[in-house]
Structure 1
């Protein structure tokens, strides 16, 4: 059975997006449910099958050209030929290619979340692994395609309901968060949907490729067809859940997003506003701003991407500096948390939603088990895990080689996210701070939550070799089965020894499969790095989006160019494994991800560096201000496995923040950050007072609000 689209949307929205919207539900008839989002330009979620089987007549095939949006490469709208047959939408460059089977992709409309925007004549299909953006110029053709897609979608869903064991389509290989190198049902799905009739025989006699760079682990034989069938997802009976949802929906309604918020525009002339565009709070700590963003997964006209990195790539005499394991107190840094992550299988998020219909969901606290025992300020510090790359850059005379190290550092900050798609960090409360003094790595870091509306986290780090700073805010896009996270702002690094000031943007991140629970994260887009004090060289690094027809994942490629645009160094690798420069097989390894600690799956997927971020020894505790994240009670209790007490403290901390906000509003006052100030370009930079105050007179008598 298909889980009701409306139920899945709302439930998934709460678990993974960590922000909330209000929706109006309209029950149209016995067999259909329509969910309408009253956002700007009126996005509409198309109805799905409800209430069991119904007599849906086999639809006529539909074929024709539509515009399809691509993000990279060849960004923009491109004309493609589409063929719709029994709920399966195939597309290629032209009709002849479809007839020959030279397809660019295939979409199961019945298993996709479908939304339309009538004013812009746009159709969006979220198929979990990919998000497809379609557009039709003619109103008549738009209405015809929408009508056909509705009919085919219901037909396909009815077909799946009648034959639930035959519902599985075979999609490209995507890794599970918990075990990226082990084949499973997701791996098997790399076979194209139109070849599914011959899949069982192919799989039993063939092999599937493991997600790894090592050619010795490139494949595994599947000889037991029974085992294959057992790996597929079994159907879930949710008729009671659907019935309850529709009953409540008939009696209650709660309204949509805040239309007063600004929209973000893409390169196209029309606004690609989010289906659920709003500013929302999570546990009264506002977190994200929805925006327009698109992803694309179409083959390039020049299919010349780098695939797996060969094992015989030569290694430079370069290695990550060995970390000094001793704390200032003489002890060793911990290698695991006090308690493993809690079991979340007993959390019924649907019951939480159902019991709060008609209430302001932004004020409804979610279970603390959905968090990891780190917060956003500490996650910013994680970007410095491989700070030795900046040290190396600071000692490299050649400006083009310096740029290679800077670019590799920018990529390395994404490595720790590979095993972390299942949880979310705590939201810092306004005025919360975090310091990380690492003499072993040679830097000291400080961060502060400088704004609550909108949420902005600022950080600053210094060493004898570099200065690093950024302020972070996000715009998010929720598509129904996937969520895109678009960071806004620049990251800055200064190398005082050379007078270099590097700055770069961040790429889009996307959490996939948020409906199924087998979530995985992908990063895609282009990082542009420039030295604002010199035009001698630039660098562009591209995070390549996973391709439908390939099992290659997480690939990165880039180039360092001179002022004339001539390529001086080429870069390639995988953001979760390592980076190289040069050309295979004689390329040089610049960086490899550190090995994961033992039993990392039991401890939130934390890297060794992440395990140390919330560690608190007595000497450090005496030096911290009362606002430091390591003193936050709910986060500490969750780390120790005391979930019930953590939940109590979390609610208390959120209430304290609401009370402080009301006091400021009643007195017509605004919060003033202690350690950061706003610059002329509206970014937050350090006021260089934290470490001086820490040294003299210290924070023991520091006047600060009670945050927890």
Structure 2
């Protein structure tokens, strides 16, 4: 095995050629010797022919053999005293013959040895070929066995998922009715009991090749377009669309909803997004390059019918990840799920590069109660310049809060959104408190071409109560045509800095944990609704955020974003009226701000308070009054500012 087989073959071939050459030389020399001897004899005879010696052989003398190659050739005469030249010739012939015989004998021995060596090499070559063939066959058999095992596991899991989804669908009750109930309960009784979440009904963390944790809220609700349900068994990546069971619709909370539980949510917007092709952005932005665009009034057509406070709630679309983390004992797996939740908050922006949210006015609020997800959420605009939005969400499994401040910068062809502040999640069961930052967002091709959105930077997730696990997620900066656009990479590390889990994927597509190709999907976004391109690129969850049920009106504060007229008019497709209302509200906002400045009044948010964290940074947290005021005396009896 030291040398390749072809080296042995080449050496054998060369040795064979040498042997053949030696044998040919022996034969040639033998022939020459015969010819030389005959010529010598012929000349001798011809020379002495004239003498014609007739010397009788004596009985005591033997005939002289003149050449070893011809034993029958004897001299006819006997010299008593042969000539000197004849004696020399005979001695030369005798020595030459001996040398020739010895050389031929040696050549035969060498040939025999080389032939034996060649045969041995040929045998070894065949053995090596057989060994290599058997080794390759063994490796192939091992690989085939592993692939068959993986395929079998995948097929079994696929069959299990289909059976679960079919069972869920068979038990589903899809209805768009409003059911009145008379149940009185406290806000603390909002729970997930009886709710079959996607993360629980479809998968377990790390128990299959693809673990789907992507139950969009809207996908748990009724839909006018139910064609997607028939594709559940054929396309598992979109199976969340059919999750809506009868038990989850029995979770009623009369206190929070004023005795009314609404089972159906809208599945489409009232009107498509307006045409913006006639808007010359360059004329608007050319004098504001490098400036903070939050202070620049933009045409209402460039807005989407949601505001920033509602965007904060949209980050909870995949709150099932937090529910799953609250049930996972392994701290590193919990961290991986928290990282998946942090990434999922960016997924909804993928189709939203064409418009911007409304800027909330100072004191504006938003409330969202999701019985199907088991959480209640509220947010408030606590500062206008600089713009700061704060929110708070709670459920039996987690508490989520954040305050976000940002700056917009226009750079000619693109616009950057630079966020500040932190996101916080606590899991009461384990006493964990996770804190992380947000990355930079950039919208490309503002003035011309197809707009597209990009997120880049690094997210660091820390557990401030327990340093057992940390996580770093990197959003890779690329370009529209690069292969790594939207890619993310991350690691979950233990307290010694050793990598425990590797995370990778794309923030708009999926997140995987492990090493390819054996990595497992721990999150995937839900499917988009029909004709989403015509409706601002909204997800099913986003479509529901600005929906205002008539029964809810008496329980919401008048500062809630759903009462904002310019946003509501834009959603309904009345662009001209929305533009007029937007200008009126902005002017009213400027008047209020001037009044506060002239009277040296510091604005105090109603539902949040400012605190200083351990790093000497200011942050906004709930003052625990929102739900109390909602319950008693009710917002209709609370003094609130007029915002529009």
User: How far off is 1:544 after superposition?
Assistant: 1.4
2:562 aligned with 1:630, yes or no? yes
In structure 1, the residue matched to 2:552 is 620
Q: Which is higher, the Rg of structure 1 or of structure 2?
A: 2
Alpha-carbon separation, structure 2, partners of 1:317 and 1:610:
20
Query: Which ranges in structure 2 are unaligned for 5 or more consecutive residues?
Result: 1-207, 223-248, 250-259
Q: CA deviation at 1:350?
A: 5.6
Aligned with residue 209 of structure 2, among 301, 310, 314: 314
> 2:624 matched to which residue of 1?
688
Determine which of 394, 412, 421 is the counterpart of 1:480: 412
2:330 to 398, 420, 430: 398
Whole-Å separation in 2 of the counterparts to 1:463 and 1:683: 22
The corresponding residue for 1:707 is: 643
How many residues align? The count is 393
Q: Which residue of 2 aligns with 1:223?
A: none
| Aligned pairs (5 A) from 1:218-237 | none
1:325 to 221, 225, 238: 221
Describe how 1:383-394 pairs up with structure 2 within 5 A: 383-394=315-326
Shift of 1:548: 8.9
Retained in 1: the 8 A contact 2:306–2:357?
yes
1:525 Cα offset (Å): 1.2
- SS of alignment partner, residue 402 of structure 2: strand
Residue in structure 2 matching 1:660, options 567, 573, 592: 592
Residue in 1 aligned with 2:431? 499
- CA shift, 1:492, in A, is 0.4
Shift of residue 412, structure 1, vs aligned partner:
0.4
Q: Is the 8 A contact 2:476 2:484 kept in 1?
A: no
* Equivalent residue number for residue 462 of structure 1: 394
- Following superposition, the deviation at residue 320 of structure 1 comes to 3.2
Asked whether the 8 Å contact 1:320–1:591 carries over to 2, the reply is no
Worse-superposed segment, 399-408 or 644-653: 644-653
Contact 1:378/1:434, CA 8 A, preserved across alignment: yes
Match for residue 535 of structure 2? 603
2:526 is matched with 594
After TM superposition, the structure 1 = structure 2 runs for residues 412-451 of structure 1, keeping only pairs within 5 Å, are: 412-451=344-383
What is the CA deviation profile of residues 363-407 of structure 1, one whole-angstrom value per residue up to 9, with x for unaligned ones?
874321111000010011111000000000000011011001000
Partners of 2:272 and 2:338 lie apart in 1 by: 35
C-alpha separation in 2, matches of 1:441 and 1:541: 26
Please give the alpha-carbon distance, in whole angstroms, between the structure 1 residues aligned to 2:523 and 2:294.
Answer: 42
- Whole-angstrom CA distance in 2 between matches of 1:605 and 1:636: 17
Q: Does the 8 Å contact 2:213/2:524 carry over to 1? A: no
- What is the SS of the residue equivalent to 2:502? strand
Distance 1:664 1:365 in 2: 21
Residues in 1 aligned to 2:371 and 2:307: alpha-carbon distance in whole angstroms: 22
Aligned with residue 529 of structure 1, among 454, 461, 464:
461
1:570 aligns with 2:506: no
When normalised by structure 1's length, the TM-score is: 0.53
Q: Is the aligned partner of 1:579 residue 2:511?
A: yes
Distance 1:491 1:363, change over 3 A: closer
Superposed CA deviations along residues 157-210 of structure 1, whole A, max 9, x for unmatched, are xxxxxxxxxxxxxxxxxxxxxxxxxxxxxxxxxxxxxxxxxxxxxxxxxxxxxx
Query: SS state of the match for residue 411, structure 1?
Result: helix
State the TM-score, normalizing by the size of structure 2.
0.58
User: Would you say the 8 A contact 2:216–2:526 is kept in 1?
Assistant: no
The Cα shift of 1:511 comes to: 1.3
Shift of 1:446: 0.6
Q: Following TM superposition, by how much is the alpha carbon of 1:696 offset from its aligned partner in structure 2, in angstroms?
A: 1.2
Whole-angstrom distance in 1 between the partners of 2:295 and 2:322: 42
Within 2, Cα distance between the matches of 1:659 and 1:518?
38
Instruction: Select the structure that is richer in strand.
Output: 1
SS state at 2:554 partner: helix
CA distance in 2 between counterparts of 1:671 and 1:417 reads 32
The structural deviation recorded for 1:480 is 2.1
Q: 1:677 to 1:330 in 2, by over 3 A?
A: closer
Q: Which has the higher helix share?
A: 2
Structure 1 residues 586-637: Cα deviation after superposition (integer angstroms, max 9, x where no partner): 1111110110000000100001110000000012111100000000000000
Q: SS state of the match for residue 700, structure 1? A: helix
CA–CA distance in structure 1, aligned partners of residues 505 and 391 of structure 2: 28
Q: Distance in 1 between matches of 2:519 and 2:530?
A: 31
CA 1:448/1:551 → structure 2, altered by over 3 Å: closer, same or farther? same
Q: Is the 8 A contact 2:409 2:417 kept in 1?
A: yes
Q: 1:547 to 1:441 in 2, by over 3 A?
A: same
**Quick check: 1:453 aligned with 2:349?**
no
Q: What displacement does 1:478 show?
A: 3.3
SS at match of 2:333: helix
Residues 131-146 of structure 1 aligned to structure 2 (within 5 Å): none
Aligned pair in 2 of structure 1 residues 524, 353: CA closer, same or farther (>3 Å)? Answer: closer
Deviations 1:12-66 (A, max 9, x none): xxxxxxxxxxxxxxxxxxxxxxxxxxxxxxxxxxxxxxxxxxxxxxxxxxxxxxx
Separation in 1, partners of 2:374, 2:588: 36
Output the CA distance in 2 between the equivalents of 1:618 and 1:437.
Answer: 15
Q: Distance in 2 between matches of 1:631 and 1:548?
A: 38
> SS at 2:547's partner residue?
coil
CA spacing shift, 1:614–1:575, aligned 2, 3 Å: same
Q: 1:586 to 1:705 in 2, by over 3 A?
A: same
C-alpha deviation, 1:348, in angstroms:
3.8
Q: 2: CA distance between counterparts of 1:378 and 1:560?
A: 30
> 1:652-681, CA deviations, whole angstroms, 9 ceiling, x for partnerless residues?
111111111122122110111000000023
Partners of 1:635 and 1:551 lie apart in 2 by 38
RMSD between superposed Cα atoms in Å: 2.4
Correspondences of 1:51-450 after superposition (within 5 Å): 314-316=209-211, 320=215, 324-325=220-221, 329-349=261-281, 365-450=297-382
Work out whether residues 365 and 560 of structure 2, in 8 Å CA contact, stay in contact via their aligned partners in 1: yes
> Which residue in the other structure is 1:74 paired with?
none
**Contact 2:408–2:416 (CA<8 Å) still a contact in 1?**
yes
Inter-partner Cα distance in structure 2 for 1:353 and 1:542: 31
Q: Give 1:90's aligned residue.
A: none
1:481-504 Cα distance to aligned partner (Å, 9 max, x none): 222222111110000110000000
- CA shift in 2, pair 1:519/1:692, >3 Å: same
Q: Do the aligned partners of residues 473 and 317 (structure 1) sit closer, same or farther apart at CA in structure 2, a change above 3 Å counting?
A: closer
